[in-house]
Each structure stands twice: as C-alpha cells, then as structure tokens.
Structure 1
C-alpha cells in the first residue's frame, strides 16, 4: 500500500511538472491589434511567449524574431529595452544586426509595451531574467549575444550573472545599476508617490524628459516625436491604469536592484557603451540638492564600472545622452558591430 501511495504521489508531481511545461506556449497567429493595452504598430510580426508565473498567473511576453537578411552567421542577438522604451526602439540596430547575419530577438519585458501588465507582481531583475530564460529555452535558443539598454541593461547584467553559459557576449548600453542611487543618498519613495508622477506623463512631460535626457543640448528633430508618441499611446491606452502601476513598481526595482557590486563576476567579453552627456539618475528629482549634485555622472562612474569587469571594453559617444542608439544610430551601430567582429 505504501509503495502504491509513493507511486501515486510521484505521478501527481510528474503531472504537475508536465502541466507547468505545457502551459508555456509560443503564439504566432491571431495576435490582437491592441495587445495588452498597446496598439502601436511594430516593424516586424509580433509573437507571444505565454507562460505561468507568480501564483499561477498566465502572462504574455511579446517578442519579435527577425531572420538574418544576408548569409546567416549562426549567432543570435537578444535585445532588451529600457524603462521608457519598447522593443521597437531597437529597430535601426536590429536591421544592422540582421544585415550582418544575426538572428535578432527583440523582447518587451513583462510590465511594458505589448506584454502583460500584472497588478500583483514582484518585479525583480532576477524574475525578469527568468522570464527571458523561459522564452529563449522555449524557442530553442541557448547561445546568445545579449544587449541591454538602461533598465534593460540592468536586466541583461543580471541575466548574464544568473545564466553565464547562455551569454557569449554582453553589451551594457547606458545601463542602470552601474550607480547605486539609494546608496548615494536618494530617499526611498513610497510607491504611491511614484505612481502619482507616472500619471502625469503627457506628451509635453514625456517630450521634456526626452529632450533633456536623450538629446541634451540638441535641437529637437521631428523624428524624435516617434518615440514620444509611442509612450503617449501606451500611457493613454486601454490599460493605462495597469501600465502606470507596473511602471511605479519597476522604479522600485531600479532603486533596490543595483548590479554594480557584482560586475567583477562577469566573465564573458563585455562592452559598456554610454552617451558622454547622459544625465539620467533615478530618484534625482526627489533627492536633496546635495545628493542631486552627485548623481548621474556617467562619464565618471561608468568607466569605473567597466574597469571592474575582467574582460571589458568601454566606449563613450561624445555629445550624446541616454540613448545613443537612437540619437546617433550610425556611430552606435558601427561601435557595436565593430566590437562584435573582434569576438
């Protein structure tokens, strides 16, 4: 009888394990136009990685899978966007990578853009990394060049630390987490305070933020409006309430998840890219004046962070802000592909 009970219990455990696996699926057809509250048109077809996470919530992670447009080199490049970005903002670099023979995967992280916006969710860089691992495993990718920008740079660094066997080359582009904001004196905010600021994101507010942070000392160009309007669409979309709450929680993730102290543990070749005039510092707006003066000195702390990585290269783009991949695309792509050619 005891043997039967053991077999029965093991059978139930196996069934639960198989069920968990079968709950993961890739959806490539009948994708809603207004996907998870975002009806912005992406450049390539959108697929969905559907999976279960955190108390059996069914979540969707949108991604684009782009084939090489010339002779394939057998490599896959995965790009992770920043907090005020979506996977589509990588389009110009994705085209260049595909032309160089790469398969390119562009992902929308959970809580962003065309992916699910769960209202009861613990956002951590570890959890977001596990979501990405699930996607890559499900589509059969296990050897990647990983590129992350801003918030996505912090995610990429954490992913590389957790799953180093997956990452052949790591690229950290104006990556958050290279500076410890709370450690520098930024007061830890109540999430409702951050939520209130998220609700104030109109066209005027978003354009003002992007002008000062992405294009410092540059004349505003009409093409910059593309990325402003992209955010306006989602902040005013059918899941605006859900999105702003996720973004408030994600700010908490940035403040509590710096990766700078673990950079020496990165063993793969790593490229650190920054805009020399990048002023971004999360929490600077509500920090005391004396603390504000210390924050966002990318030309100081970024090369120091890069130097702590055993096998790293540091490249700075003069005159550029927080997003050189969109403010100086040609120089950015040349630097990225040039470095990759050496590895």
Structure 2
C-alpha cells in the first residue's frame, strides 16, 4: 500500500511540475512595438514562438512565416541569421525564394534582435538548434531547405547534424565553424573582456567593423546604414544591458564549440558559399600578429572543408566579403536558388 501511495505522490508531483511549465505556443496578435529590446520595423508580420527552456525560463523567438507570392511549390526555406544580423537582413533573398514558390520562415535566434535576451542562459549550438526544432515542430514543418549565414551557418550545420531527417538541403553561407579559431591560436578571452568590447558598439564602431569585414574594398552604400542602425537600436535600446551580455556569451560559444570535424558526416546535399574576400575570424582583433596573419583565409579553408563533405558544392563570389547576400544580392540569389532548384 505504501509503495502505491509513493507512486501516487510522485505522479502528482510530476503532473504539477509539467503543468507549471509554460506550454509551447505561437503568438500572432498584440505584438509589442518594442519587442525584447528592438523597435526596428520588419518587412512582414512578426510572430512569437514562446516556450520554456533551461530551468523553466519562458523564452520567446520572434519569427516571420511568409506565404509564397506565386503558385506554391510545396517547399519551405528556413533562414538563420548571423551575429550582427537579424532575420530582416535576409529580406532580398527571402523575396527571391517567395517569388520561386517557397514558403519562407525567417527566425531571430534567442539572444538576438526581437527574441528573448536571457542573462542566465547557457548558449550552445545544440540548444539553439533545439529551439529551432521546437518552433518548426509547433508550426507543423517537418522538412526544410535550411540556409544559415555566419553564426547562423554554425547553427544550421549543427541543426543538420542533429536532425538530418528534417533538412533536405543545406546552405552554409560564410558560415562560422569552418575554421577552429582557438585551435588556430586565437587566445581564449575572459567573457568580461568581450563584454567590455560589446559595450563600445555604436554607429561608428559597427560601421567600421562592417566596412572592413562585410564589404572590404567596396564602397559604402547608404543602404548598408539600414543594417547598422538596426543594431544601434538594440545596443541603445530598452534591453541594452541584457543584449550586450548575451552577445558576449554568444562569442564565447563560437570559441568553445567546434563543428568542422563533424561536417564530413553530413548526408544531405550541401552548398558551401563564401565571399571570396571574406576576412572574418572571431577573436582576430585580440590575437597576436602572427596568428592574425594565418586566420580568416576563407578562399583557402572553405573549399578544403567543402571537399570533405559528400554531395557538396563550393561557390565563391568574387570581390565580396562576409555578407554577399547584401553586397551582391543578385549574384547571391542566382547562385543559391540555382543550386537549390537543381539539387
């Protein structure tokens, strides 16, 4: 009898625990203008995927779920942004996919843009992938073409390794994780050091970084200011303190995780696409001169990584830096859509 009573108590405790966790839900109405510290206006209606994660924290992922603008082809394309980017920065490529008949899903990852900025959170690419899986499962999407850029490319690669049955095609665009930064000699910094650098970000600092890395050797276009100001809004917004700490933790995640050695196990068709002049290497700024000279050579390491992946294609866009989807949109869209439609 006592055993049955104990089982009943444990069952009751389990029910109470589960009922206390906020259920996964999609919010489509009454979205605040200043959503999680960002009041930057997105092109399409923003929805929220609300869920519980890490000790029952209620978190929100902002996303846009957009119907094709022509006859649907039955395919879904999911786009994942990089560190100094948001889901809206995919707008030009999203439009091209919509015009080709794709349902398009653009997501803001946790810690970024219009999504939650938890200060007590373990950022891992596995965890971020699990968040994306939860969103896709909740909205009923079970197979996708997954396109990730920079930090989002690292997330996309990890997602494809964890959930290969969901990813039909994978596009890694100037994806972090193709180079092992600490393994190449970049010193591992204290997180407070990275936080101090994040707190220095303003229009001038962000524009200078983007000019040198995203558009090296290219003229600065007024349209690029849109994306700088999108970040300025967050760095100076209602959750600036939380945002800068999340960004410091996110840099730590890039430096403490690797994915490049697992990429040869990818089974789906994979496109590795880079800007030929991409110089980005996380932590390069605080590395010794000798290390700075040997990292960030995308035209060398990216094709070598692509060669290790079965059923992969490598594309390099001449004259472009870390953000060819912005600086050479027409060629970028032609390359990605051309590859996707033939694979």
Normalising to structure 1: TM-score of the pair? 0.97
Which residue of 2 is the match for residue 173 of structure 1?
Answer: 173
Secondary structure of the 2:165 match is: helix
Distance in 2 (CA, whole Å) between partners of 1:230 and 1:154 is 22
Per the alignment, residue 280 of structure 1 pairs with 280
Over the aligned positions, Cα root-mean-square deviation in angstroms equals 1.2
Mapped partners of 2:340, 2:231: distance in 1: 31
CA distance in 1, matches of 2:297, 2:341: 30
Who is 1:27 aligned against? 27
Does the alignment pair 1:3 with 2:18?
no
Alpha-carbon distance in structure 1 between the residues aligned to 2:92 and 2:113: 18
1:55 and 1:295 map into 2 onto residues whose CA distance is: 38
Distance 2:50 2:172 in 1: 27
**CA contact under 8 A between 1:96 and 1:333: conserved in structure 2?**
yes
1:202-235 Cα shifts (integer Å, max 9, x gaps): 1111111111111111111111111111111111
1:324 shift after superposition = 0.4
1:119-134 residue pairs with structure 2 within 5 A?
119-134=119-134
Residues 289-308 of structure 1: pairs in structure 2 closer than 5 A: 289-308=289-308
In structure 2, distance between residues paired with 1:258 and 1:302: 15
Trace 1:39-118 onto structure 2 (pairs within 5 A). 39-118=39-118
Aligned residues: 342
| Structure 1 residue 6, shift from structure 2 partner | 2.6
Tell me if 1:220 matches 2:248: no
Q: CA deviation at 1:3?
A: 3.4
Q: CA deviation at 1:7?
A: 4.6
Q: Contact 1:176/1:258 (CA < 8 Å) preserved in 2?
A: no
Give, in whole Å, the separation in 2 of the partners of 1:192 and 1:4: 51
What SS is found at the alignment partner of 1:146? strand
Q: What secondary structure sits across from 1:277 in the alignment?
A: coil
Aligned equivalents of 1:233, 1:288: Cα separation in 2: 33
Q: How far apart in 2 are the matches of 1:125 and 1:262?
A: 14
How far apart are 1:16 and its partner, in Å? 4.0
Structure 2: stretches of 5+ with no match in the other structure: none
State how far apart, in whole Å, the 2-side matches of 1:76 and 1:151 are.
21
Unaligned runs of 5+ in 1: none
Q: In 1, distance between residues paired with 2:135 and 2:97? A: 20
State yes or no: 1:335 paired with 2:335.
yes
In the alignment, structure 1 residue 13 sits paired with structure 2 residue 18 = no
